[in-house]
């Protein structure tokens, strides 16, 4: 028998009271040597038990359940209608159910608090990263302006050079803001994908063409794994996928070695194509690989700063691939090179 209903508790208390009173009557009649009347004894037992039952039930309801109900009501934040009130009274009269619901509620609140704390830490880190990234170009610009104001403006040998340098810092800030804007749009789902059927070979060739001069600066060869002479038709947003490939190829060049290569391979995988961008550059240390797609994450902060990255490129890439419901992976060995691969659905 479970002792978590007020009726059960009251019945037990009433039975105990009845038995004690009848016992008292019996002991009293023994002590006073008066005759023991069975009818009186039965009457006492039933009368006291009944009275006791209603009395204890009243006490429990009045003093304990009223409080439990109040707590329970607060937890559920219920605005009670009369039907709901009845439902609540029925539920609060089963204490084990109240206990279960309250612990479920507590667990839910704990999870909520944990999530809020994580979000708060993330927000703080994000603001820290953004201000850190903006600081360098802003101070650079200020430095050039101050020098120009201090007289360099009149010096034809350096005034244009300083303006051009200040402009490079402005470019860097614009890139950063554009990247953050893009991430924000991707995350809030504002940016719709314009899905079409397109040829991934053609997109890759366009990217190579666009980045040829960058590769030339480091004598890096941009090539395909095979001669892809027929089109590979895929489904997706061609502009976004072009952005993915461009980001990966720019990285492969930036972190590639002089006279190295960047190679694109396309592999048939049932209903998908796997697109690989491989380089033979500096690679990524094993410990950094799992974090490489996080925003602002860079392997070597000082080194990447020289090549002008803010660490948002791969976060954007990952978002775009995720929003296509596809996957992206990286294999890399420090000092040997990196291979980024992602999938795309074949066009029907
Ligand atoms: N192909 C690669 N080879 C070696 N390291 C890489 C490669 N691609 C990315 N990384 C490492 O991953 C980090 C994050 O890359 P990501 O593209 O997100 O940022 P970034 O290139 O530094 O800056 P951004 O792309 O925003 O201009 C880089 O800083 C670099 O350390
Ligand atoms: Mg990058």
What are the pocket residues of ligand 1 if the criterion is a CB atom closer than 6 Å to any ligand atom? 179, 251-252, 255, 279, 281-284, 292, 297-299, 304, 309-315, 338
Kind of pairing between the strands at 221-224 and 261-269: parallel
Domain residues for 320?
A: 196-346
Which of 130, 254, 264 for mutating ligand 1's site (highest number of atoms within 8 Å of CB)?
254
**Domain co-membership, 205 together with 341:** yes
In this structure, are residues 292 and 250 in contact, taking their beta carbons and an 8 Å threshold?
Answer: no
CA torsion sign for 45, 47, 48, 51 is positive
Ligand nearest to the CA of 175: 1
H/E/C letters for each residue in the chain? CCCCCHHHHHHHHHHHHHHHHHHHHHHHHHHHCCCCCHHHHHHHHHHHHHHHHHHHHHHHHHHHHHHHHHHHHHHHCCCCCHHHHHHHHHHHCCHHHHHHHHHHHHHHHHHHHHHHHHHHHHHHHHHHHHHHHHHHHHHHHHHHHHHHHCCHHHCCCCHHHHHHHHHHHHHHHHHHHHHHHHHHHHHHCCCCCCCEEEEHHHHHHHHHHHHHHHHHHCCCEEEECCCCCCCCEEEECHHHHHHHHHHHHHHHHHCCCCCCEEEEEEEEECCEEEEEEEECCCCCCCCCHHHCCCCCCCCCHHHHHHCCCCCCHHHHHHHHHHHCCCCEEEEEECCCEEEEEEEEEECC
**Domain co-membership, 223 together with 172:** no
* pLDDT tens-digit map of 244-260: 999 999 999 999 999 99
How many whole angstroms from 313 Cα to the centroid of ligand 2? 4
Comparing 97 with 187, the larger pLDDT belongs to 187
Residue at 1 is within a domain:
no
Q: How many degrees, rounded to 5, is the angle at CA 13 between CA 9 and CA 18?
A: 145
**Domain co-membership, 307 together with 257:** yes
Query: Which of 159, 188, 217 is the endpoint of a domain?
Result: 188
| pLDDT band for position 6 (cuts 50, 70, 90) | confident
Query: Which of 74, 93, 112 is the endpoint of a domain?
Result: 93
Average pLDDT over residues 319-347: 97
How many whole angstroms from 334 Cα to the centroid of ligand 1? 14
Q: What pLDDT sits at residue 181?
A: 92
**Domain co-membership, 209 together with 151:** no
Residue 117: both structure tokens together: 């704390």
Of all residues in the chain, the percent with pLDDT exceeding 90 is 69
**Domain co-membership, 222 together with 169:** no
* pLDDT tens-digit map of 104-143: 888 999 999 999 999 999 899 989 989 988 998 999 999 9
Kind of pairing between the strands at 272-279 and 328-333: unpaired
In this structure, are residues 69 and 34 in contact, taking their beta carbons and an 8 Å threshold?
Answer: no
Cβ neighbours of residue 194 under 8 Å, at least 6 residues apart? 237, 238, 239
Ligand 1 atom having least distance to the Cα of 340 = 1
**Domain co-membership, 292 together with 267:** yes
Comparing 128 with 79, the larger pLDDT belongs to 128
**Domain co-membership, 243 together with 313:** yes
Winning range, highest mean pLDDT, from 83-97, 245-259, 301-315: 245-259
| pLDDT band for position 84 (cuts 50, 70, 90) | low
- Asked if residue 94 has pLDDT above 90, the reply is no
Average pLDDT over residues 62-69: 76
- Asked if residue 74 has pLDDT above 80, the reply is no
Query: Which of 93, 122, 147 is the endpoint of a domain?
Result: 93
CATH code at position 159: 1.10.287.130
Q: What pLDDT sits at residue 315?
A: 95
Residues in the chain: 348
Q: What pLDDT sits at residue 75?
A: 72
**Domain co-membership, 216 together with 297:** yes
Residue at 99 is within a domain:
no
Residue at 233 is within a domain:
yes
Nearest-10 crossing angle of helices 95-149, 66-76: 40
Instruction: Tell whether pTM > 0.85.
Output: no
Which of 313, 331, 338 for mutating ligand 1's site (highest number of atoms within 8 Å of CB)?
313
Residue at 173 is within a domain:
yes
Average pLDDT over residues 174-190: 89
Q: What pLDDT sits at residue 218?
A: 96
How many whole angstroms from 245 Cα to the centroid of ligand 2? 11
Residues 320, 91: Cα–Cα separation, whole Å = 49
**Domain co-membership, 323 together with 275:** yes
**Domain co-membership, 180 together with 71:** no
| pLDDT band for position 92 (cuts 50, 70, 90) | low
Residue at 163 is within a domain:
yes
**Domain co-membership, 159 together with 257:** no
**Domain co-membership, 171 together with 143:** yes
Q: Which residues of 103-113 are buried (b: 16+ CB within 10 A; e: fewer)?
A: eeeeeeeeeee
Mean pLDDT, the chain, integer: 89
CATH code at position 206: 3.30.565.10
Ligand nearest to the CA of 171: 1
How many whole angstroms from 309 Cα to the centroid of ligand 1? 7
Q: What pLDDT sits at residue 48?
A: 92
Residue at 178 is within a domain:
yes
Residue at 159 is within a domain:
yes
Residue at 124 is within a domain:
yes
- Asked if residue 93 has pLDDT above 60, the reply is yes
- Asked if residue 80 has pLDDT above 60, the reply is no
In this structure, are residues 331 and 338 in contact, taking their beta carbons and an 8 Å threshold?
Answer: yes
Ligand nearest to the CA of 276: 1
Number of separate domains in the chain: 3
Average pLDDT over residues 231-256: 97
């Amino acid at each position: 028998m479970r002792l978590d209903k007020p009726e059960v508790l009251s019945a037990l208390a009433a039975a105990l009271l009845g038995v004690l009173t009848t016992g008292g009557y019996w002991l009293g009649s023994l002590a006073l040597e008066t005759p023991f009347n069975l009818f009186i004894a039965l009457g006492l037992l039933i009368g006291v038990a009944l009275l006791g039952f209603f009395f204890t039930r009243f006490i429990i309801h009045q003093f304990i359940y009223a409080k439990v109900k109040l707590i329970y009501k607060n937890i559920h934040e219920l605005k009670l209608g009369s039907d709901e009130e009845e439902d609540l009274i029925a539920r609060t009269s089963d204490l084990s159910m109240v206990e279960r619901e309250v612990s479920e509620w507590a667990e839910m609140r704990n999870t909520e608090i944990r999530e809020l704390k994580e979000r708060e830490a993330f927000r703080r880190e994000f603001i820290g990263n953004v201000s850190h990234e903006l600081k360098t170009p802003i101070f650079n610009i200020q430095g050039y302006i101050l020098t120009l104001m201090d007289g360099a403006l009149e010096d034809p040998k350096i005034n244009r050079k300083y303006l051009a340098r200040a402009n490079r810092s402005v470019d860097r800030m614009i890139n950063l803001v554009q990247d953050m804007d893009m991430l924000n749009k991707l995350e809030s789902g504002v940016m719709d994908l314009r899905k079409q059927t397109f040829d991934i070979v053609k997109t890759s060739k366009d990217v190579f063409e666009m980045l040829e001069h960058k590769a030339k600066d480091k004598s890096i060869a941009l090539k395909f794994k095979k001669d892809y002479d027929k089109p590979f038709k895929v489904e997706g947003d061609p502009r976004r996928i072009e952005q993915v490939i461009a980001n990966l190829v720019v990285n492969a060049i930036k972190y590639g070695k002089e006279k190295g290569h960047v190679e694109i391979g396309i592999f048939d995988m049932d209903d998908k194509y796997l697109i690989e961008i491989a380089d033979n550059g500096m690679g990524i240390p094993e410990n950094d690989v799992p974090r490489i797609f996080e925003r602002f994450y860079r392997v070597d902060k000082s080194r990447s700063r020289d090549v002008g990255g803010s660490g948002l490129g791969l976060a954007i890439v990952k978002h775009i691939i995720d929003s296509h419901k596809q996957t992206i992976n990286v294999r890399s060995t420090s000092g040997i090179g990196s291979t980024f691969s992602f999938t795309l659905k074949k066009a029907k």
